[in-house]
Amino acid sequence: MMKEHLALIDQGHESLACWGRRRPASSVSEYCFGSPANFILDVGLTLLDGKAGFHSVRQTDALIHRLDEFGPDVVHLHNLHGYYLNIDKLFKWLIRSDCRVVWTLHDCWAFTGHCPYFTYSCCNQWKTGCGAKRCPQLMGYPPTINSASCKWSYEAKRSIFTSLPSNRMTIITPSKWLAGLVACSYLSKYPIEVVHNTIDLNVFKPRSNSEVFSVKEKYGLDSRKIILGVASPWSKRKGLSDFFALADKLDKSEYSIVLVGLSAKQMRQLPPGVVGIPRTDSQIELASLYSSASVLFNPTYEDNYPTVNLEAEACGVPVVCYDVGGCSETLHRDDSKLVECGDVLSASLLLAKY
């Protein structure tokens, strides 16, 4: 979002970037309308009632006031979930304004009654209406104890998200896979375009030998071949347990598994043969870690268009990835390979060839 915002300003346009949490605004063209206290309150309320996206009333009122002042011709939406926004209030404002709306979806939350992804749980209730059966991911993000909320949320979101005329909103997806799902959902009335995510090729490129040596020295990495994993946060859905299973199948004298983006707790629980590195905010350091690896293994069970695959390949590193979601659309090297989701044995045999 910020890359697009800054590019618009550089081109001479007026642009206002708005968000609800994580960091304060740093210029007059930015607006953070949430707060840590509101985030905590929204999390608690959602846990109780399951109505994700229907709290944060005051914060959304503040956003709407700022939008009224700015008077945008186009509003570009991104993720509307995350405990910071009231979607009902926002769309009512969009309806009464005369702006065009572009909405980039980064997951499936916009057309389900609860979850951002449903592949892992093999649930297709979203096609006909969530709530007919108990949601298999109630305690998955965004967690709730209210099992009756999925039907209510599905119907409410369908009403709200289809309230704009079809000629006023365009849906953007980063992958053909997600575009196909949107076309089967209640959002199918809107034009759908695929715009792949991009990365900074000035950063993500094969880094110099000195940069690779420096990052390996910093994290105590030896001369063994590195099988790299990158995620933040790591979870079972991202394949963390698959890396642990992989560690038992590889020759530890030849290969070292290095995982980037782990929490302090996860780093304390690593099995032998696995090196943990916390999340890095330095893209150059991350590119150097990619460049130090023989291969990136991305055992994600659910994903839209994983940019870690793009970053690794741009750094000259092949990728082995589970064949899920839009992952196949991110691989362009002949030596990058797809394996069946969850097939750690086949993955280990492939990885041992790099």
- Cross-strand partners of 230: 260
Domain harbouring 257, CATH code: 3.40.50.2000
Closest CA to 351 of 305, 312, 273, 293: 293
pLDDT above 80: residue 25: no
User: How high is the pLDDT of residue 3?
Assistant: 80
User: How high is the pLDDT of residue 185?
Assistant: 98
- Cross-strand partners of 192: 171
pLDDT above 90: residue 352: no
User: How high is the pLDDT of residue 12?
Assistant: 86
pLDDT above 80: residue 146: yes
Q: Is the separation of the CB atoms in 274 and 243 below 8 Å?
A: yes
Does residue 202 belong to any structural domain of this protein?
A: no
Domain co-membership, 17 together with 157: yes
Rounded to 5 degrees, what are φ and ψ at 154? -60, -50
Domain co-membership, 284 together with 171: no
Write down the pTM of the prediction.
0.92
User: How high is the pLDDT of residue 353?
Assistant: 87
Helix locations, 103-231, DSSP H: 149-161, 176-183, 209-218
pLDDT tier, 305 (very low <50, low <70, confident <90, very high otherwise): very high
Q: What is the mean pLDDT of the chain?
A: 95
User: How high is the pLDDT of residue 73?
Assistant: 95
Closest CA to 172 of 106, 103, 94: 103
Q: Is the separation of the CB atoms in 129 and 159 below 8 Å?
A: no
> What does the pLDDT average to over 204-208?
98
| Secondary structure of 19-55 in HEC code, one letter for each residue | ECCCCCCCCCCEEECCCHHHHHHHHHHHHHHCCCCEC
User: How high is the pLDDT of residue 118?
Assistant: 95
User: How high is the pLDDT of residue 259?
Assistant: 97
pLDDT tens for 26-77 read 787 889 999 999 999 999 999 999 999 999 999 999 999 999 999 999 999 9
What CA–CA distances, in Å, run from 32 to 4, 62, 260?
17, 10, 29
Domain co-membership, 163 together with 39: yes
**Integer Cα distance of 328 and 177 in angstroms:** 9
Q: State which of 137, 165, 194 marks the end of a domain.
A: 194
pLDDT above 90: residue 163: yes
Does residue 177 belong to any structural domain of this protein?
A: yes
Domain co-membership, 315 together with 189: no
pLDDT above 80: residue 1: no
Q: State which of 166, 194, 222 marks the end of a domain.
A: 194
Q: Is the separation of the CB atoms in 46 and 153 below 8 Å?
A: no
> What does the pLDDT average to over 173-196?
98
Domain co-membership, 337 together with 279: yes
pLDDT above 80: residue 2: no
Domain co-membership, 159 together with 43: yes
Q: State which of 167, 194, 221 marks the end of a domain.
A: 194
pLDDT tier, 290 (very low <50, low <70, confident <90, very high otherwise): very high
Burial 191-212 (b: 16+ CB within 10 A, else e): ebebeeeebeeeebbebeeebb
Domain co-membership, 215 together with 181: no
Domain co-membership, 177 together with 308: no
**Integer Cα distance of 136 and 118 in angstroms:** 9
User: How high is the pLDDT of residue 26?
Assistant: 76
Six token digits for residue 192: 């759908």
Reduced to 3 states (helix: H, G, I; strand: E, B; else coil), residue 94 is helix
User: How high is the pLDDT of residue 21?
Assistant: 83
Does residue 201 belong to any structural domain of this protein?
A: no
pLDDT above 80: residue 131: yes
Q: Is the separation of the CB atoms in 338 and 328 below 8 Å?
A: yes
User: How high is the pLDDT of residue 218?
Assistant: 95
Domain co-membership, 146 together with 222: no
> What does the pLDDT average to over 326-343?
96
> What does the pLDDT average to over 270-283?
93
Domain count, the chain: 2
Q: 226, exposed or middle or buried, with CB in 10 Å at 0-12, 13-18, 19+?
A: buried
pLDDT tens for 212-267 read 999 999 999 999 999 999 998 998 899 999 999 999 999 888 999 999 999 999 99
Q: 316, exposed or middle or buried, with CB in 10 Å at 0-12, 13-18, 19+?
A: middle
Does residue 199 belong to any structural domain of this protein?
A: no
User: How high is the pLDDT of residue 334?
Assistant: 96
User: How high is the pLDDT of residue 22?
Assistant: 78
What CA–CA distances, in Å, run from 186 to 84, 148, 226, 232?
24, 21, 45, 31
Closest CA to 116 of 159, 69, 178: 178
Domain co-membership, 32 together with 141: yes
User: How high is the pLDDT of residue 6?
Assistant: 78
Reduced to 3 states (helix: H, G, I; strand: E, B; else coil), residue 319 is strand
> What does the pLDDT average to over 310-338?
97
Domain harbouring 147, CATH code: 3.40.50
Q: Is 256 left (phi over 0), alpha (psi -120 to 50) or beta?
A: beta
pLDDT tier, 117 (very low <50, low <70, confident <90, very high otherwise): very high
Which segments of 208-318 are extended strands (E)? 225-230, 255-262, 274-278, 295-298
Return the H-helix or E-strand segment holding 274.
strand 274-278
Q: 313 is in which domain, residue-wise?
A: 209-351
DSSP 138: T
